[in-house]
Amino acid sequence: GGDHTITYPILQALAAKHGPVGLVHVDAHTDTGDTALGERIYHGSPFRRCVEEGLLDCGRVVQIGIRGSSYDPDPNKYCREQGFRVVPAEECWMKSLEPLMREVRVQMGDGPVYISFDIDGLDPAYAPGTGTPEIAGLTPAQALEIIRGCKGLNIVGCDLVEVAPMYDTSGNTALLGANLLFEMLCVLPGVKTL
């Protein structure tokens, strides 16, 4: 729930218990900005703050679905410099993400992993109810492949953020968000599914 700023204090708490965690981050944006309107903590900066505090195991961070407008000619440079794997949306177009998730499972290994899913990772045709929509995003089926592809990882927490129901009178964004959260609950360690 809420905007992506909420992930920052959650990761502070998880890192205090588990040490630096791996991250499977689905989003249209990397959320590694430094400041906005003079503020260092906002929905576009949580993962930069997490890097600065040592909350992330940067070699075990993957960001999927990244796209959209930027004020920088190389908007993913900071992420690459930290050791993040950045998977732009165009690398996901018109294909199954199961092969990618096999690679992600190897990258994550046995260490603690957090899943952070921004609903704007999906194309606004499916999820228009969000504050910063970007065209040419992931499909709901790809979202399921990502989440289901996390089964077997040492998941210590997850979130789904940036749903803004007032921007979607159909209710489809909230429906999709609720179903994706259910899917995340199903891949938590110890949960038995059919």
> Which residues touch 152 (CB under 8 Å, ≥6 apart)?
105
Tokens matching residue 94? 């018109």
Which residues, 6 or more positions from 178, have their beta carbon under 8 angstroms from its beta carbon?
A: none
- 194 found inside a domain: no
pLDDT in tens, 19-64: 999 999 999 999 999 999 999 999 999 999 999 999 999 999 999 9
Q: 0.95 cut: is pTM over it? A: yes
Q: Is 57 contained in some domain?
A: yes
Is 49 contained in some domain?
yes
d(CA 192, CA 4): 29
pLDDT band, very low/low/confident/very high, at 193 (cuts 50, 70, 90): confident
- What's residue 70's pLDDT? 80
Instruction: Judge whether 94 lies within some domain.
Output: yes
The answer to whether residue 123 is domain-embedded is: yes
Q: Residue 89 belongs to a domain with what CATH number? A: 3.40.800.10
6, 159 in Cβ contact below 8 A?
yes
- pLDDT tens readout for residues 80-120: 999 999 999 999 999 999 999 999 999 999 999 999 999 99
Query: Looking at the 3D structure of the chain, how many domains does it have?
Result: 1
Residue 185, domain member (yes or no): no
Q: Which domain holds residue 132?
A: 4-151
- Cα dist. 15→20, 50, 118, 154 in Å? 5, 10, 21, 14
Q: Is residue 186 included in any domain, yes or no?
A: no
Predicted local distance difference test score (pLDDT) of residue 31: 97
